[in-house]
Structure 1
Amino acid sequence: MANPFSKGWKYMMSSFDQKIDENADPKVQIQQAVEGAKKQHQQISEHAAEIIGRKSQLEMQINRLLKSQQDYQAQTQRALELADKAEDPQKATEYNQAAEVVASQLVAVEQELEGLKTQHAAAQHAAEQAKRQQQESEARLKEQLTEVDQLLAQADQASMQEQSAKAMDSLNELKPDESTPTLDAVRAKIEKRYTDALGAQELHEATGGDRIHEIAAAGNDFKASARLDAIRAEMAKKKEIEPGSEEASKES
């Protein structure tokens, strides 16, 4: 049964790592990725160099064994020639024995040489594969390095966009002071007064407005003039009556 504490710890660390990745600076992560790619390429190159070096080492050993093979063959042939030319049977036997010793050494060298040749064939194949891997790693590293400038530019753009978004959020969070009138409120009051005045003027013109007042005033003036004439007529009539009444009183 799985340990719940171990499982919880792994979950917590995974969540912690995820939060670190989310909040990490992209430029720092780009630099870390570049360093990681360079380190990996260096390791591949070192491993390839080691494999190629092993092949070269085998080639050096093979060359030495080939030289030894030639020397032993020459010594064996020389010993046999001397044994054939020797007139003394004892010397002939000694030369033959020497030839056998050298021949045994020659056989050992040739056996070792065959083993090294087998190893060299495998090393040759491994070296070619290591070269391809190293070349692919180098090409991949160059491609990644060419993308660094583009990624850095994109990181700058993303940072600027985030700052712009934060600035807009900050502006949206700002609330106007209730004790200070806003331009929108002042504009609304001005527009209301202006439209109210336009409405009153339109209504005034629709109902006659000043023309009605002029007509009413003209009617009043006409009535006043007529009334004034009537009063004058009454006064004149009274004046005519009054002298006649004085004469009547005199005759009586």
Structure 2
Amino acid sequence: MANPFSKGWNYLLQSLDTKIEENADPKVQIQQAAEAARKQHAELTKQAAAVIGNRNQLEMKLHRLQEDTQQLSDNARTAIQQADKATAEGDAAKAQELNQTAEVFASQLVTVENELEQTKQMHAGAVQAAKQAEAQKQQADMRYQEQQQQIQQLQQQVDQAKMQEATAQSVQQMNGMQGLQDDDSVPTLDGVRDKIEARYARALGAQELVEGSVQGRMDEIAAAGNDMKANSRLEQIRAEMKGELESGDGQPSGDAQSDDSDPYLDEEK
């Protein structure tokens, strides 16, 4: 049976990881991925350099062993030649000593030749490993460049996403403001317009009532009567003027002249 405490702890860790993943900043995660890619590329570069360095080191050792082999072979040859010369001269002791020296050189030569053969085998393997390391290094470089391009694209996408989120949030806020209720303490334009139109409509209605009422009709009749009296009085004045012209042969009568005098001047006289 599973331990409930261990099961609960694992569940808590998984839940915490999920919440962290959901609330994580994408830019921070991109930076973390970029840093991981950089470290991985640096480690691969370091390993490739170590493999290539091992090949170079074995090449230097090969050159040194080849030189040592040549030197020991020459020394052995020289010792043998001198020993043969001493034998020919009848110097047996010197010839024996030179032969022993030649044997020492030959023994050293065998040891160096064995080491040289082993080094050649190791160098051959190092050459193959270096080629693979160089190929892997090139692949790692290409992959790292692709990762850098992907990182730049992701950063641009994050910036675009943030801009779109900000735009959507602004639009949502604007829509929310449109749905807000108006403040009752502040008059709205629609309310003021309704009041003005209602007042104007009532005024027009009152005017229509006045124009259609009995008083309105009486005023119209009185106005028409006044117009008739004015026309009649005007005709009377015209008739009087015509009669005066006919009686005076076109000249105004004496009464008319006296009428033209200023009454105020007569009083002063």
The reply to whether TM is greater than 0.5 is: yes
Q: Residues 108-140 of structure 1, C-alpha deviation per residue, up to 9 Å, x if partnerless?
A: 111111111111111111111111111111111
CA RMSD in angstroms, aligned pairs only? 2.6
Equivalent in the alignment of 1:113:
116
Choose which of 97, 115, 118 in structure 2 pairs with 1:94. Answer: 97
1:85 and 2:85 equivalent?
yes
- Find the aligned partners of 2:136 and 2:38 in 1 and give their Cα distance: 14
Q: 1:165 to 1:138 in 2, by over 3 A?
A: same
Equivalent in the alignment of 2:165:
162
Is the 8 Å Cα contact of residues 65 and 109 (structure 1) preserved in structure 2? yes
Shift of the alpha carbon at 1:7? 3.6
So what's the TM-score if we normalise by structure 2? 0.62
Alignment of 1:137-216 (within 5 A): 137-170=140-173, 175-177=179-181, 180=184
Give the partner amino acid of 2:62: I
- Find the aligned partners of 2:77 and 2:2 in 1 and give their Cα distance: 76
Q: 1:4 to 1:109 in 2, by over 3 A?
A: farther
- Find the aligned partners of 1:121 and 1:61 in 2 and give their Cα distance: 13
Aligned to 2:20, the other structure's residue is in SS state: helix
Q: 1:113 to 1:8 in 2, by over 3 A?
A: farther
Equivalent in the alignment of 1:204:
none
Structure 1 unpaired stretches of 5+? 190-252
Shift of the alpha carbon at 1:161? 2.4
- Find the aligned partners of 1:117 and 1:129 in 2 and give their Cα distance: 19
Equivalent in the alignment of 1:54:
54
Shift of the alpha carbon at 1:163? 2.8
- Find the aligned partners of 1:7 and 1:54 in 2 and give their Cα distance: 50
Structure 2 unpaired stretches of 5+? 195-269
Q: Residues 185-238 of structure 1, C-alpha deviation per residue, up to 9 Å, x if partnerless?
A: 98xx9xxxxxxxxxxxxxxxxxxxxxxxxxxxxxxxxxxxxxxxxxxxxxxxxx
Give the partner amino acid of 1:64: R
Q: 1:158 to 1:182 in 2, by over 3 A?
A: farther
- Find the aligned partners of 2:9 and 2:33 in 1 and give their Cα distance: 27
Equivalent in the alignment of 2:226:
none
Alignment of 1:234-245 (within 5 A): none
Alignment of 1:211-226 (within 5 A): none
So what's the TM-score if we normalise by structure 1? 0.65
1:103 and 2:106 equivalent?
yes
Q: 1:62 to 1:167 in 2, by over 3 A?
A: same
Equivalent in the alignment of 2:75:
75
Q: Residues 3-41 of structure 1, C-alpha deviation per residue, up to 9 Å, x if partnerless?
A: 443343233223322222222221222222222111111
Equivalent in the alignment of 2:136:
133
